[in-house]
Every structure is written in C-alpha cells, then in structure tokens.
Structure 1
Amino acid sequence: MVDTVQSVTGPLLPEQLGVTLTHEHIFINMTRTTPQDGYLNVWAEAEAELGLFTAAGGSTLIEVTNGELSDYAAPVGWSQDPRDMQQNPRTGSRSVANVLATKAMAEATGVQVILGTGHYYDTYLDKRWFDRNATNTIADFLIADLLDEIPGTGVRAGVIGEVASDLSHITAVEERSFRAAARASRETGALVSTHAASFPTGLAQLEIMREEGVDPGRVVIGHADTVKSVDYSLELARRGAFVQFDCLMTCRIGGNLISHQIDRRLSYLRTLIEKGHQDRILLSQDVCQRSHTRALGGPGYTFLFEEFRALAANAGIDPEVLDSIHTANPRRAIFGQ
C-alpha cells in the first residue's frame, strides 16, 4: 500500500482522485507505427477535450505516455532546444517538453494528471541502449523518475507504465523492460500498467511480475478487451491482477457508434461482474490518435460517461457498479487498498 500518489501538480490522497480514467494520453507521438494519425501535439485541441472531461464530472487521468512515445510529443514551439523535445538519451525517461507541457495543461484545465514512466514495445525500443544498461540500472532510472524527478522537469512520475509487449510472445528486450519495471515497483510500491494488445500475453507479463516478487494486485493488464476471449479476462482476475478494458476508442469512430465493438465489451464486462470480479475492472478510452478526439468523431475522454453508460444500463449493468469502477477501483489499483 502507498499513502499518496504523485501527480504533475503534487501528491494526491485516495479521497482526492474522484472520477478517474486509468489509461489515457494527452501529448503522444506514435508516428513510427501510425504516421497519419498518431500524433497528439496541439494545445488547443487537448485543452478542449479535457474541458469536456471535467464537464462530464471527470477529475483525474493516468497519463501513460512512456519514454519512447514522448519524443517530440509536445506542442510545436514548446522548446527551442531539440534535446528537450527528445526522450532522455541517458535514462530513457520522458522528454522534458512532454512532461512540462502536460503539467501546464493540467494547471490550465484543472485535471489531475498522474504520469507514467517506462518503455514501449520492441518496434520502438533502442536495442543498443538496452544492451548498454543492465536490467537493474534500467530499474534504477525508473525508480529515480518516481522518487526524485523526471530529469530536468521537477516533476515525478506516479505509476509505472505503459510497459509494453505487442506480439503473441514477449521479446527478449521487452522481457528486460518488464523485469526492470517489476523491480522498480517492488522498490517503490508503484502500480505497473501494461500494454498487451490482441494476444493474451498479459498472462506472461503477469508471470514475469510474479517471478520478480510483485503482488498481482499491483499490476494492471491493459487492452484486455482487444483479446477476443472473456476467459482470458477471467483468468487475469482470478490471478489477482486488474483487468483493464481501455480500448474503447474502437467503439466510436467518425461520429458513429460501432455496435459489435460495444456489444462484445458489454458482454465481457457483464460476465466479469456476474463472476464476482467487479472490484478488479478498470475502464478507459486510450485516446492516442487525433481521430480518437471527440472533435473528430472519436470517443474523446467522455464516451464512458455518456453513450457507453446508457448502453451498459440497457444491458443490465447497474450504473452504481460503473460509478464504483470509475472511482473505487482506481483507488484500489493505485493505493493498494
């Protein structure tokens, strides 16, 4: 258990979290794999989207842009020094500009933003950097981000994540990233939030965490809703991890609701609740591309509180259960309660 969690504007107590989205991005650069759409760096657009979030009753975002995704992930002109715009070449930490722009956005909008620290999946990783740094050294860099500062920013990370693998297996360099994350979590008590898209590799991620001595209750397995098997989600919950359905950006595209995407997630959600795992569920939209913004017809940061809430009620899911998922469950995950 931890008593407080660090946000970009200072420590938060459990009762201060309020309505929380547990896997989102504000400024991010995914152009290596999504060249036309995967770049959020426009201040006015982010400010408007976060304004909708607060208007819908939202309080807190866990912003899990990691070191690799922070490269030039800040508004144009934020810094005249290109070094500030780039991932830290020594520690692998987020870029200075990404952190300071996110802090400024939190101050401008009143949203409480908790930053993640960690590393993305194989395609994005600097293999030579990983070869030069021992796993314990990488863990020490993560620990410093959490306990000291993200270098050059005066801002501390609050969680570890998103730590990623992206294939049907975990590559060797990804495994080292996960082991470093686990060791940093064991040292600090920080929550670990993962990326495990399409394939049921969250089970392997969780096993690495267990081998390194991390309690499964300190681990959030991300993108579980992209794995088309509710049995996978049930097994993650049975093992004690938090099951995160966070790819709801696929449920609203170009202003249209995508029924088959929504219906499958509602079915999985209802099954987990009926099986007694409602305390292990987290929900988010994973806004990480411009097309995901509300202004361009995506879910934005509010879909869960609007269309999805109404559809969930029609599917027999108690609105009070959803309220608990948005408030009590993030507290359990972050603080170990």
Structure 2
Amino acid sequence: MQEKPFCFSIGHLLPYSMSDSNTTDITNPSTFILLGIPGLEMAHVWISIPFCIMYALAILGNFTILFIVKREPSLHGPMYYFLCMLAITDLVLCTSIMPKTLSIFWFSYREINFSACLTQMYFLHCFSVMESGIFVAMALDRYVAICDPLRHSTILTNPVVAKIGLAVMLRGGIFVLPYLLLARQWPYCSNKIIPHTHCEHMAVVKLACADTRLSNYYGLFVLFSVIGLDVFFITVSYTQILRAIFSLPTKDARLKTLGTCSSHLCAILAFYISALFSSLTYRFGHNVDQHFHVLIANVYLLVPPMLNPIIYGVRTKQIWDRLLQLFTHKGT
C-alpha cells in the first residue's frame, strides 16, 4: 500500500478536523477554516474588545494624518509624503486582517475561500515589506535634512519622492509574489484548519502535504535580506545623524534636532521589534504556546498602525499644531 503523505494535524483543537484515515491530497482546496486563537475560543468576544478599539484608533488616526497633510500646503514636503505612505500602508495592513478576525470572534464565521486566503496572505506580507521600505525612506529623509540641510530641497524633490515610493511598492510586490505562487502549487491535505486568525504565510504552508522547505527558506531569505538590510541602512543613517547632532555647538540645538528624529525612532522600534519577534517565534519557538504565537502576530499588525499616528501626531509639532487648529476652529 502506498504510504500516505504527512499532514499537519491539530484535530484535538476543534471538531472541524478529519481523521487521519480520510487524509488525501487536495491540490486546490475550496476553503480553509480559521480557528481564531486556539485554546482561547471561549474568550474570543472579550479579546475582540481591545482588538476592535486598536483597529478603530488605527483607522481614525491614519485617516486624520492623511486629512491634515492634504489640507495643509505647508506640510507638502518629503517627510510628510513619506508619512502619508506609511499611513496608507498601515490602513491596508490592519484592514487586511481585522474584518475577518472580528467575524471569527463575533459570529464564529471561520471559513475563508482558498483564493481569498492567498490574497489576504499576499497583501499582509507585501505591505509589511512596503512599510519596512518606507521606514528606510524616512531615515534617508532625516539624514539629508540633518546632515546636508542646504541640499534637502534639491535632493528630495517631488519626482524623487515619487520614484522612491514606486520602488518601495514594487519591491514589496515582487519579493512577496513567490509566497503566493508557491502556496498555490502545493498539494494540501484534507485537514484544512489554520490555527490562526488570518492566513499568515507559515500557517498556510504547514497545511501542505509536501516538502515545503523551499517556502521556509524563501521566507527566511526575505526576512534577513529585505528586513535585515533595511535595519542595516536605518542603523547607518541614524549613526550619521547622531554624529551630526552631537557635533552641534549648543545643548538646545542638539535637543531640538534630536526631537525631530524621536518620533521616527519610536515608530521604527514599534514595528521591527514586534515584526522580528513574531516571525522568529513562529519559525523557531516550538515550545511557545500556539495562542501566544497568534496573539503576537495580531499585535504586530495592530499596534504599529495604531501607534504611528499617535507618535507622529504628538511628537511632530507641525501636525500637532494643525490638529489643534482644526479642533479649535470647529469649536468656535
């Protein structure tokens, strides 16, 4: 008798799973089943409350940033254009997962179409790579503004900013495309349960009844070559920025210049720490509980989009002033 292929089994989690005797290859399953947060099903409604609040704050905050920058001609510059790109990326990131996640928590609607699952996976990882690229572009903007301020307006012109934005978008789309192509060609088992709130790449790959080392290796390649290089370039930029700041003659000048970078640094830390922790834990944290994996993955996609508008709104004086003027004007 021909040996049956190994299939990732989590049948003890939910009665959706099938017995091993019924395990067969399915090249293109019609649907997958998203469990939500395994082991915490009874608390889904309570967990949905902070998730919903964070999502609402992310939507409100990022749309506010876009509105203020569009409304104020004085904010039409490279730094704020990159900030708008970041806001759009954050909106897509959190919106790619939260409607489905909330439908699982509130209505127990766990099914997701195979094509919809792969589309969600593509948007999720594509815009994560794009967000990392935008942080590099923002670090470049701060480097030029502080280390070569007289040439800032001639180096980072509107066409250059547009080309940088296009390059960031194309890089994200091209590097993540193999995720989609590989996931589509794997044969899948009859067990179609994804122990997650959304179609994360590694969670989908684990359902394939095939040798998926190529997907695993490519995922690590993207993690270390794309994200790793981005962190390297940001580190180099800020090393030069800090050298320039500490060479300023007065303490007030140093603090004022450092203040223009603090919001960017806070946003970078919020994104990269949660992203790297989530990705590495999923691949190497075999002793970590499944529900912790899923919670961290959701925090990574919700907290930075929620925090970025708050960080930039509070720490960036021009945006904070325009926001206060907007509410003051409406109140009079």
Alignment TM class, shorter chain as reference: under 0.3
Bigger fraction of residues in helix: 2
Bigger fraction of residues in strand: 1
